[in-house]
Amino acid sequence: MLNIYKYLQYKILKIDGQSMSPCLNSNDLVLAKYSLKLFRNDLICFNLPSNPKKLYVKRIIGLPSEFIEFTDSYIIINGNKFISHDIDIKKLSASKWYNNEDEFFVLGDNYIDSYDSKNFGPINIDWIKYKIILKLWPLGKLNSL
């Protein structure tokens, strides 16, 4: 039974859309795993209560109980400048959010084409379904995430 449980923790997902480009593109295949160990920069899959059938893929930027602020050229987390090489922070409009103890702030790597926490706010940990651990397809671009 334990082996079946381990198998059920994993899922192969097909990426739909360009919000995570260039890291992930439409039709890429990824291996995802159910995990409660989540860290900044992890790629996760989640549902929103407003659209429970759609699975979103985004990058964790803000962790529980953190204050996130966008300025003209920086993402500031708890007063410290945070720079992510995967996000074009120069295009972020000035805004502020606070994550409760069970919330994460997520962004798409392709900011212009991403519906993410800057639109709907922090997400609750209960909405998170998987953590993406490996890019499977295209074959030439197999890598861990």
CATH number of 134's domain:
2.10.109.10
Q: By the 8 A CB rule, do 69 and 76 touch?
A: yes
- Per-residue pLDDT tens over the stretch 15-70: 999 999 988 999 999 999 998 899 999 999 999 999 999 999 999 999 999 999 98
d(CA 78, CA 98): 9
Q: Domain range for residue 58?
A: 2-144
Note the pTM of the prediction, 2 decimals: 0.85
- Per-residue pLDDT tens over the stretch 59-112: 999 999 999 998 767 788 999 988 655 556 556 665 899 999 999 999 998 877
Number of domains observed in the structure of the chain: 1
> What DSSP state is assigned to residue 93?
P
